[in-house]
Structure 1
């Protein structure tokens, strides 16, 4: 976790008139959120993408809502599983099996382990989505939660990065690299997490993570256009099954089709 998102959030606090999080209860919850929503999934995803192409990794990332249905059913009363959500989970896991089955049967152990790491990351995201519901109850605003989460993540990751990566021995980053990091920090992390916690408070964990369905589409297009990556037919079939699962979980498309048939 780069310290840049943390600096972006801290810099925005005076402009928005928001105080930093206070109290041990709030910071304990924030620290746990940073662990399961940043440290664990980011580490697993970065490691897995050394083996998996970006398009396939993004498809696996879209399984987050499937895990969230299961976690929310187990730990909440408001977001219990329905027949449609259960059907969505089954479709989604069928999609995952379609994508990773051939690699396992063919003995591609590295791809199988990387796929498992991606799925573990999405499970961690699901746990974070459900866990983060408590911030509204304990009086932590979205901006405070975003600030605290990236700060806690930076505190954990900075010592590990110094020990493992030894950045002082690496060549200085280019201007393009610095610009990319700043863009990821300011827009894709700091601003995105403010929206994340706001939507979580208003719409719930399951609806929040449905946005991950948009990631495979953009990642596949960008990977194909910019990185010359290609997906096998089974990957496309897996994405179609995951899309069907997400539609079943969301329920609105099925409700609309039902109304059309009745009219």
Structure 2
């Protein structure tokens, strides 16, 4: 992979890792469902400007309205809501690690349930290692060695399941330009979250929210969503889906670094051990390292 693509990959991993930090700071002052609406609507507005500049607004066809709503629900509304709810109680680093299980759940949903992909030996092994890693992480709270509430961790795992369902559903958008698909799903999720945000945000005060929180809201919407989507789709087009998927390994590492340096977060020994097992599972799931070793042996 060229150096340009490696730089894009690292930048994207840092941005998406930072999104957990932005959310942790913002959700301390803004109700989770309101924060979700602010994130998706601001990102949608930014991508509308991009589509207008690229003369692609006409590609937002009415025939795609229902698919965009479903994609917006699965890829934005549900996972963002679950992540922000979870982050009211757990740190950015732990939330990002639990969210990194998305490829594991994608294999389960796409391979076992939807029958879209063949289940190879490395995928089965990767899923088993991933599940083991999650079990080790959750055992830290179950055994009382960590104070992170179990429900909050399960909420973040639920977000990973939603992302897996979205990845499976996204197959029907192959003929749609990536930036159009991204804008359409964000428009769909904005429409879904608007009434929910109004209903749940009655006690929240716009004027009493600090500038720090608003800066993190802008970072979530403009940087971690709109800009990140554009970088991701550019990387996808230049380096391919397999190379782009490496961002999964970078995101939790960057979130842990930011959480430790900026928020002073720390994980328990069991949580770190579970993270290690999960990382091994993701590498095995990816399969490239194993293929290279096999090729060298021959």
What TM-score bracket applies, with the shorter chain setting the length? 0.7 to 0.9
- TM-score norm. by structure 2 comes to 0.78
Which residue is 2:200 aligned to? 164
Q: Distance in 1 between matches of 2:285 and 2:144?
A: 32
Q: May I ask how many residue pairs the two structures share in their alignment? A: 258
Which residue is 2:152 aligned to? 114
Task: Tell me if structure 1 keeps the 8 A contact 2:96–2:252.
Answer: yes
| Residue 13 of structure 1 pairs with residue 74 of structure 2 | no
Match of 2:149, SS state, is helix
Cα separation, 2, equivalents of 1:158 and 1:203: 35
**Cα RMSD, aligned residues only:** 2.6
Unmatched runs of 5 consecutive residues or more in structure 1:
none
Alignment of 1:90-129 (within 5 A): 90-106=128-144, 111-129=149-167
CA distance in 1 between counterparts of 2:154 and 2:228 reads 26
Give the C-alpha shift of residue 49 in structure 1: 1.1
Calculate the TM-score normalised by the size of structure 1: 0.88
Question: What residue in structure 1 maps to residue 90 of structure 2?
Answer: 52
Equivalent of 2:214 in 172, 175, 178: 178
Counterparts of 2:205 and 2:223, CA distance in 1: 29
Asked if 1:75 corresponds to 2:114, the answer is: yes
Flag structure 2 segments of 5+ consecutive residues without an equivalent.
Answer: 1-36
Deviation at 1:252, TM superposition (A): 0.7
* Residue pair 2:101, 2:278 contacting (<8 A) in 1 also: yes
Alignment partner, residue 72 of structure 2? 34
Q: Counterparts of 2:93 and 2:142 in 1: how far apart (Å)?
A: 19
Q: Deviations over 1:97-128 (max 9, x none)?
A: 00102322449897211121111110000110
Matches of 1:32 and 1:209, distance apart in 2 = 23
Deviations 1:67-115 (A, max 9, x none): 01111213244x3221000000000000000010232244989721112
Question: For residues 36-95 of structure 1, what are the alpha-carbon distances to aligned partners after superposition, in whole Å with 9 as ceiling and x for unaligned?
Answer: 111111111111111212211111111000001111213244x32210000000000000
How far apart in 2 are the matches of 1:57 and 1:50? Answer: 10
